[in-house]
C-alpha cells in the first residue's frame, strides 16, 4: 500500500505543481545584508516541480534533506535528478576551496537558465538556501504558486563574525521543546549559529536538551552549556579583555538585552525596565571604530540575551525576540560598511510578512514619534516627525482636540510656534497604534 501511495504521489506532483497562480518577486531584499549583491534585469521562472541536481555532496546528507523538505513546505515538489541531467536548481559543494568564502560563506547565482548554490561546506550551502528562500514571495509557505519568478542576481556572502548567538536564561519559565525548536528555526533563517541555554538542571529538561541539540545540529546551530560563552562581556569589559589577548563574545546590556521593552511600555507585554527598540539594537557594533587590529581579531562576535523570567506563556518569547534578533543578526553577519538603518527598516517590513506567514509572533515596532527640531525664527520651530516603523501615518492636532483619522496628516516638516501643544495619533496598516501622544514644542 505504501508503494502504491508513493507512486501515486509521484504521478500527481506535476498536477499539484500546476495548481495555483504565478508569483513574482521584482526586488532582491536579503537579511542579513550580504557582502556583495547585484541584481540584473532578467529573471528566472521556477516552476512548481523543479529538478534539483546535487554535486559533491550526498543526496542523503542532512543539509540536502533539509533543503528538499523545506522546498516541499514551500509548496514546491522538487525532484532529484542525475548529475548529467539538466536542472532548475543546482546544489554544489566546491571541489576546489574558494578561500574568500571560508567555512560559512556561499555563492548564489540566479540566471535565466536556473539557480546555482555553491559553497565550500554544507553549512555554507545551508546559508545559501536561507538566502534563496528570501528571494521567494513572503507567503510561499502558505499559498500555492504554480511558479515563482525571481530576479537574476549574484550574491556572494560570508559572515563578519564567527559567533552569532542568543543567550537564553531558563531559570524563570523554561521554554518547552517545541518553543525552543521554533527559536532555532528563526535563528537559522537569519544565519545565527550559537544558542547558549542556561538554567537547565532538571533531568527531564536534560532529555529535552538532547533532542534540542539534535534538532539544532540539522540547522547548523550549536547548543552550548559551557560557562565561557554564557559569561559574555559588556562593551567596556570586552574591549579591556581583548586588549589583554583574551578572545571575547560581546553581550551589550544596553543594546542587546531583549528582556527589556521594545516599544512604549504602556502598550507592550510586561518586560524588564528600560527600552531597547529595534533601532537601538541595530545601532550596536561589537568593534568600535578605531579599534586596533590586534584587538579586533580577539572579538569572536556577540550575542543577544533573553531571560525567561520576564516572559509569560504562549508566544511571548518569540514576540520579545522578533524582530530585534533580526537586527542583531545583521550586525554580526554583514560587513560594517553595509549597515544602513534606512535600508534595514524597509527590509524588516518584508521580513515581518515572512515571519507572519510562517506563524511567528513579533512586535510591529515602536510607534513613539521622534522629533527633529531646528529653529525657524525667533518664535517658530521647524519640526520633522518620524516613527521607527516605515509607512506609519501620523494624524495630528494643535488646537487641543484629540486627533482622529479625519485630522491633519503629517506629510513633511511643519513650522510650529513655541509653546504649541501637539497631539499625534500613529496609524499603521489601517490600525490605530498605541494611543495619542502629546508634546509641547519648546
pLDDT recorded at residue 19: 59
Burial of residue 201 (number of CB atoms within 10 Å: 0-12, 13-18, 19+): exposed
Q: What is the dihedral of CA 261, 224, 216, 128, to 10 degrees?
A: 80
The residue assigned the cell 528600560 is: 274
pLDDT recorded at residue 205: 75
pLDDT recorded at residue 42: 95
Are 306 and 276 spatial neighbours (Cβ–Cβ below 8 Å)? no
pLDDT recorded at residue 245: 87
Number of separate helices (H) and strands (E) present in the chain: 13, 23
Q: Please tell me the pTM assigned to this model.
A: 0.92
pLDDT recorded at residue 2: 58
Task: List the CATH code of the domain at 163-357.
Answer: 3.20.20.80
* The CATH number of domain 370-440, selected from 1.10.10, 2.60.40, 2.115.10, 1.10.3450: 2.60.40
CATH class of residue range 12-157: alpha beta
Burial of residue 372 (number of CB atoms within 10 Å: 0-12, 13-18, 19+): exposed
pLDDT recorded at residue 421: 95
Q: Tens-of-pLDDT digits for all 442 residues of the chain?
A: 455 554 444 444 554 455 578 999 999 999 999 999 999 999 999 998 999 999 999 999 999 999 999 999 988 899 999 998 999 999 999 999 999 999 999 999 999 999 999 999 999 999 999 999 999 999 999 998 999 999 999 999 999 999 999 999 887 778 889 999 999 999 999 999 999 998 766 668 778 889 999 999 999 999 988 545 555 778 888 888 888 888 899 999 999 999 999 999 999 999 999 999 999 999 999 998 888 999 899 999 999 999 988 776 668 999 999 999 999 999 999 999 999 999 999 999 999 999 999 999 999 999 999 999 888 788 899 999 999 999 999 999 999 999 999 999 999 999 999 999 999 999 999 999 998 999 999 8
pLDDT recorded at residue 260: 96
pLDDT recorded at residue 289: 87
Q: Is 370-440 in the same CATH topology as 163-357? A: no
Of 297, 257, 309, 301, give the one whose Cα is nearest residue 281.
257
User: Could you please report the per-residue DSSP string of 157-179?
Assistant: E--S-SEEEEEEE-SSSPPPHHH
Q: Domains of the chain: which residue ranges?
A: 12-157, 163-357, 370-440
Please say whether the dihedral angle defined by the alpha carbons of residues 54, 56, 61 and 64, taken in this order, is positive or negative: negative
To 5 degrees, how large is the angle CA 297–CA 299–CA 302?
A: 150
* Cα separation values, 232 from 10, 22, 239, 275, 277, Å: 51, 48, 12, 21, 21
Are 117 and 90 spatial neighbours (Cβ–Cβ below 8 Å)? yes
Q: Find the helix or strand (DSSP H, E) in which 86 lies.
A: none
Amino acid at each position: 500500500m505504501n508503494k502504491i501511495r508513493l507512486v501515486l504521489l509521484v504521478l500527481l506532483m506535476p498536477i499539484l505543481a500546476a495548481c495555483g497562480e504565478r508569483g513574482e518577486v521584482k526586488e532582491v531584499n536579503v537579511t542579513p545584508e550580504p557582502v556583495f549583491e547585484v541584481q540584473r534585469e532578467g529573471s528566472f521562472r521556477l516552476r512548481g516541480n523543479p529538478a534539483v541536481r546535487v554535486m559533491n555532496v550526498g543526496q542523503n546528507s542532512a543539509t540536502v534533506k533539509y533543503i528538499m523538505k523545506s522546498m516541499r513546505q514551500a509548496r514546491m515538489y522538487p525532484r532529484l535528478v542525475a548529475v548529467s541531467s539538466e536542472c532548475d536548481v543546482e546544489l554544489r559543494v566546491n571541489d576546489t576551496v574558494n578561500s574568500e568564502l571560508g567555512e560559512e560563506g556561499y555563492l548564489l547565482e540566479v540566471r535565466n537558465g536556473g539557480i546555482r548554490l555553491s559553497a565550500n561546506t554544507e553549512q555554507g550551502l545551508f546559508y545559501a538556501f536561507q538566502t534563496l528562500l528570501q528571494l521567494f514571495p513572503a507567503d510561499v509557505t502558505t499559498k500555492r504558486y504554480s511558479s515563482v519568478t525571481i530576479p537574476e542576481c549574484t550574491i556572494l556572502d560570508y559572515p563578519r563574525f564567527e559567533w552569532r548567538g542568543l543567550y537564553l536564561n531558563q531559570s524563570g519559565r523554561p521554554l518547552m521543546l517545541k518553543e525552543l525548536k521554533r527559536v532555532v528555526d528563526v535563528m537559522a533563517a537569519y544565519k545565527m549559529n550559537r544558542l547558549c541555554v542556561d538554567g537547565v538542571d532538571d533531568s527531564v529538561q536534560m532529555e529535552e536538551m538532547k533532542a534540542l541539540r539534535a534538532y539544532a545540529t540539522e540547522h547548523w546551530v550549536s547548543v552550548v552549556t559551557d560557562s565561557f560563552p554564557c559569561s559574555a562581556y559588556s562593551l567596556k569589559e570586552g574591549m579591556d579583555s581583548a586588549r589583554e589577548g583574551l578572545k571575547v563574545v560581546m553581550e551589550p546590556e544596553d543594546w542587546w538585552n531583549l528582556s527589556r521593552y521594545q516599544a512604549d511600555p504602556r502598550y507592550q507585554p510586561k518586560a524588564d525596565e528600560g527600552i531597547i527598540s529595534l533601532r537601538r539594537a541595530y545601532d550596536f557594533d561589537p568593534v568600535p571604530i578605531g579599534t586596533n587590529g590586534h584587538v579586533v581579531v580577539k572579538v569572536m562576535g556577540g550575542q543577544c540575551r533573553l531571560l525567561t523570567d520576564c516572559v509569560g506563556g504562549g508566544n511571548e518569547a518569540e514576540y520579545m525576540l522578533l524582530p530585534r534578533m533580526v537586527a542583531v543578526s545583521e550586525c554580526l553577519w554583514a560587513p560594517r560598511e553595509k549597515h544602513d538603518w534606512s535600508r534595514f527598516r524597509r527590509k524588516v517590513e518584508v521580513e515581518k510578512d515572512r515571519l507572519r506567514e510562517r506563524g511567528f509572533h513579533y512586535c510591529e515596532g515602536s510607534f513613539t514619534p521622534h522629533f527633529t527640531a531646528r529653529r525657524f525664527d525667533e518664535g517658530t520651530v521647524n519640526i520633522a516627525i518620524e516613527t521607527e516603523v516605515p509607512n506609519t501615518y501620523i494624524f495630528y492636532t494643535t488646537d487641543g482636540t484629540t486627533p482622529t483619522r479625519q485630522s491633519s496628516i503629517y506629510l513633511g516638516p511643519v513650522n510650529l510656534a513655541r509653546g504649541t501643544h501637539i497631539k499625534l495619533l500613529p496609524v499603521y496598516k489601517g490600525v490605530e497604534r498605541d494611543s495619542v501622544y502629546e508634546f509641547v514644542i519648546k
